[in-house]
Structure 1
Amino acid sequence: MSTFTELHLDERILEALHAEGYRTPTPVQAETIPALMDGRDVLGIAQTGTGKTAAFALPILHHLAAEKPANGRPIRALMLTPTRELAAQIGDRLRVYGRHLPLYSTVIFGGVGQSPQVKALRRGVDVLVATPGRLLDLHQQGHVDLSEVQHFVLDEADRMLDMGFSKDVDRILRLMPERRQNLMFSATMPKAIGSLANDMLYQPVSVDISPEAPTTDRIEQYVSFVRKQDKRELLIDLLEGQMVSCGIVFTRTKHGANRLAKQLEKVGIPADSIHGDKSQTARTRALERFRNGEVFVLVATDIASRGIDVEDITHVFNFDLPNEPEVYIHRIGRTARAGREGLAYAFCDESESGYLVGIQRLLGHDIEVLEDQPYHFEKARPKPGQKPGRVKGSPVGGPSRRGTGRGRDMRRYNRGGQKRREQQQRSNKSSGQGRKPNNRSQRGQRSDQPNRPSGGRPPQPNQRRGKQQGRSNASNRRSSNRSHRSNRRQPRRDDRS
């Protein structure tokens, strides 16, 4: 397929593509568009940056433009994506490709007020781009009707399931007509994705655009063996010594991304962070600062990074190694785009050596070791014959959705106290004492027991005194540190305003 004209798309779409400088379809576009034009379902295996948005958006716009919308302009195409950034990107592309078409599209996602989204839905839309949570919220409120959807796109399906949206996707599928065209794109094909594809797709055309080897061949890769506590200093040395003009640093957790960005700012390196806990406004602002060169380092988590669309990234730093080798390939693929060259650094501490084994096995070669650095730690190097995967005691991924261990313990502690209080209330009712004691100190206590916190073990006298004194001292230290940091950071905050 040499040109877009050969794909027999609507002339108005071709005009928009020509204005954008689109000449030759990418491999994923050349294989996907004809299948969708014929009305077939498609299962696509492709990474971000392969042109897959145009691959599904162009034929869907073509079909919708050929039909007259029904009264009220119901939703005829739904594009579901896991993150706000991806949803916004797809929405932007739809406006570009369909600028000459009498079609309406809108984007809905969480993290922002829903009133503007509801107003757009009331006016009527042909194409809806959404994240699962906000879509289901607005459906429950009666603002979204999916009963006339003809085309459904599930983008980044693997990441969708990784983020825990499996049940939400199932619910959304049940809200749409059974007769519809389906398209699923995923960067990887784990068993869960294969099972979902079997349920969702009917005799699909498979499009497999594996990452091209030349892409990684244009990337100089290095690994540094380092203690976990020395990673930050090593990163600062590399950022200052490499003259980084546009770099991404990947961390495992949202808190780690925030903390690292602040630490870089503190030593004079312009940086910002992007992750799922940030508001949409804050994430958009961070991306704009990165694109405009206001900051040249962006600290990101893997999920949030799916929405980063910057072509001239020169450096990628794996501050924390991913536990999935494919994620490493996806990370370093952020650099060396459009024929350019790039640099990728991986920091490996002793607990991550098994992850490095898996990454090197996928690459088919060992990554060059950067030994000429002051924080080299030989014990972090993988042992001969070591198997890939998690090293005992190492972190698996991001923070658990159920919270930290201490949080679970405290909830268990509180539930125990609540259970005892309920038993006491039932006992009081059976003995004719229907009202709760007015004295707050008496609630949840038995009359034959000395005062103690309800719902918990009675503290040992010696231990209690020591713990209280320790907490008091720690609190004073934290208060002093906060005051000191606040005074020290105040000029920086004024400069930014």
Structure 2
Amino acid sequence: MSMETHSFSLGVRVAPFVKRTVTVYHVPRLRNLNRTHPAAQCILPQPPLTNHSPTLRDICQPHVPTHILQRMEEIGYVMPTDVQREALPHLFSGRDCILHAQTGSGKTLTYLLLIYSIINTLKSSVQALVVVPTRELGMQVTKVARMLAAKPTGVDGEQKSCTIMALLDGGTLRRHKSWLKAEPPTVVVATVGSLCQMLERQIFLLESVRVLIVDEVDFIFSSSKQVSSLRKLLTSYSSCNNRQTVFASASIPQHRRFLHDCVQQKWTKSDVIHIHVSPVEPMPSRLCHRFIICNNKRKLQTLLSLIQSDAPESGIIFVGEQSEKSKKAGNAPSTDLVIDFLKTSYEGPLDIVLLEDDMNFNSRAVSLLEVRKGGGYLLVATDIAARGVDLPEMSHIYNFDLPRTAIDYLHRAGRTCRKPFSDMKCTVTTITVPEERFVLQKYENELMFNSEELIP
């Protein structure tokens, strides 16, 4: 196959939007709320930080054990992000919360600090439960939780450590069953399917759980495979009155309605608070959005030319999942086409790695291990990589296929710009055919960003 090199110029084709002033407001009182509690609230960010702003330690000091704070600072978490500054005081007060903030904004650390403020490692029981939609996100949360729970450098003396179990799809349930019976872990990070298997067999009970976190809550509620199990988890297996409940996501469509449902369905207490960070700018301002129009036959060559022109440090190429009709017709999935093309045509320094739903759990784990061990890479992935895969070195996202929804675009874009307080510019580039341009414009309007056209 012949190699072609193209250069691209930028032309802004979308009118800029005007940013609105961010204020604090209360959601109107909803019908049938328990009137003994304050009305549910929605809180938006306060004014920007000043030179005298409190550190994370200042915010957490009265609540989180000192050794956790030391580990937090050793890892590099010193100043709070917006969501941490806004949410932690409410969480430490015991309020149920909906954390609604950009990807990479620090929601995971926020709810983990809450967990470490509540649990008692001297008690032999499961006291905190984090529910996630995918194994990959579960592995990421478990990793951060264990890093925080590790013994700080230079600290002497014996102290019972916090044990954290990853109860994830693809794991060995028999081993987890033995662990739960022998010495229950303090914290469990679980996918919905594996958790419900344990609950249905009464191997694992939630009576001792003091805090329940549901990460990527909108994804689970929109999943036909997981939503019924999550509803049972929230209402049948435990009661909102006996626990503190936290929902987290970068995207909560119709969030006022969701807040209402949380109270009406008794997923949370009636004084649940909705903390919405960056509602006017749902994606980082240092993220550059671009698109290029070409016909289907030119998409692979266009992708190659973009990669050669951009010379990314690392990148993800998002490819649409294969339809059932295409599978029945015996067509090769788009991921295979992209992988095969790049392996024969791309001559750059980056390794090419595949991550998709149809891979077994071990293969997916190997792929993630490859990209996390260091060095540059091009990860060809379906939307399984759009939620919870934390790759801070990511500089470029390529949408080889247009995302199905604006929410999917948001989460794909959220795989980059994940270094807190970094000013590194990152790029999302969408390759689209002429008849799909209006769809991308719709996403721009919904997510309030400007997209620039690359002119070949």
Distance in 1 separating the partners of 2:308 and 2:203:
51
Structure 2 vs 1, CA of residues 145 and 364 (structure 1 numbering), >3 Å: closer, same or farther? closer
Deviation, structure 1 residue 68: 4.2
Partner of 1:44, secondary structure, is strand
1:321 paired residue number: 402
Deviation, structure 1 residue 294: 5.9
> Which residue of 239, 247, 250 corresponds with 1:187?
250
Residue deviations 1:223-272, cap 9 Å, x none?
Answer: 11112232112112222333233111112216433442233223346312
Amino acid at match of 1:175: Y
Residue deviations 1:352-379, cap 9 Å, x none?
Answer: 223112123235565222221xxxxxxx
> Which residue of 170, 176, 190 corresponds with 1:117?
176
Structure 1 unaligned residues grouped into runs of 5+: 373-497
Write 1 or 2 for the structure with the bigger share of helix: 1
Deviation, structure 1 residue 312: 1.8
Is residue 102 of structure 1 aligned with residue 180 of structure 2? no
Higher relative contact order (CA 8 A, sep 6+): 2
Distance in 2 separating the partners of 1:211 and 1:252:
28
Deviation, structure 1 residue 20: 1.3
Is the contact between residue 387 and residue 411 of structure 2 (CA under 8 Å) also seen in structure 1?
no
Deviation, structure 1 residue 196: 4.4
Count of aligned residue pairs for this structure pair: 368
Distance in 2 separating the partners of 1:219 and 1:3:
26
> Which residue of 309, 314, 320 corresponds with 1:246?
314
Is residue 260 of structure 1 aligned with residue 338 of structure 2? yes
Write 1 or 2 for the structure with the bigger share of strand: 2
Distance in 2 separating the partners of 1:158 and 1:259:
31
1:82 paired residue number: 133
Structure 2 vs 1, CA of residues 170 and 306 (structure 1 numbering), >3 Å: closer, same or farther? same
Identity of aligned residues (%): 26
| Greater Rg by CA | 1
Is residue 312 of structure 1 aligned with residue 390 of structure 2? no
Partner of 1:370, secondary structure, is strand
Distance in 2 separating the partners of 1:37 and 1:216:
27
Structure 2 vs 1, CA of residues 289 and 328 (structure 1 numbering), >3 Å: closer, same or farther? same
> Which residue of 218, 228, 240 corresponds with 1:167?
228
> Which residue of 185, 203, 208 corresponds with 1:148?
208
Of 266-275 and 205-214, more deviation after overlay is shown by 205-214
1:4 paired residue number: 56
Structure 2 vs 1, CA of residues 256 and 144 (structure 1 numbering), >3 Å: closer, same or farther? farther
2:4 paired residue number: none
Deviation, structure 1 residue 195: 5.2
Distance in 1 separating the partners of 2:80 and 2:188:
25
1:16 paired residue number: 71
Deviation, structure 1 residue 346: 0.8
Residue deviations 1:69-88, cap 9 Å, x none?
Answer: 1xxx2322111010111111
Residue deviations 1:413-456, cap 9 Å, x none?
Answer: xxxxxxxxxxxxxxxxxxxxxxxxxxxxxxxxxxxxxxxxxxxx
Amino acid at match of 2:302: L
The TM-score with structure 1 as length reference comes to 0.69
1:130 paired residue number: 190
Distance in 2 separating the partners of 1:52 and 1:10:
19
Deviation, structure 1 residue 157: 0.5
Partner of 2:290, secondary structure, is strand
Matches within 5 A, 1:53-452: 53-65=108-120, 68-69=122-123, 73-100=124-151, 102-122=161-181, 123-164=183-224, 165-173=226-234, 174-177=236-239, 178-191=241-254, 193-194=258-259, 196-198=261-263, 199=265, 200-202=267-269, 203-210=271-278, 213=281, 216-253=284-321, 255-268=333-346, 270-293=351-374, 296-336=377-417, 337=419, 338-362=422-446, 364=448, 366-372=450-456
The TM-score with structure 2 as length reference comes to 0.74
1:377 paired residue number: none
Deviation, structure 1 residue 152: 0.7
